[in-house]
Amino acid sequence: MRIGRALYGEQSRESLFPAESESGHVIEHKEKRSDLSKWGNDLRQTFRTIAQTAGVAELDVHLLMNHSIPGVNAGYITRNKLLSDHLRQ
């Protein structure tokens, strides 16, 4: 017998992951903030590495990672216009 069925017999009839909640469903799962910040940074680093390897243009990587656009002329570039036109090609 599966443990979910043994512990939550009634809830396990309707839910794949039965729980003690009033509805019988797993309703909330929280990770530790310190873990989330580490994973987020790892994901950003991984994306940056893969984008570089795949030959994604530097401008595209900056836009996709929400980084500021480097260079003196960057202040004249409208980010919204770039996002709506350039990345959709």
Write out pLDDT tens, residues 24-63. 666 666 767 776 667 778 888 999 999 999 999 888 888 8
- Quote the pLDDT of residue 40: 75
Instruction: Give DSSP secondary structure letters for 5-64.
Output: HHH-TTGGGT-SSB-SSTTSB-------HHHHHHHHHHHHHHHHHHHHHHT--HHHHHHH
- Quote the pLDDT of residue 1: 44
The answer on pLDDT for 65 being more than 60 is yes
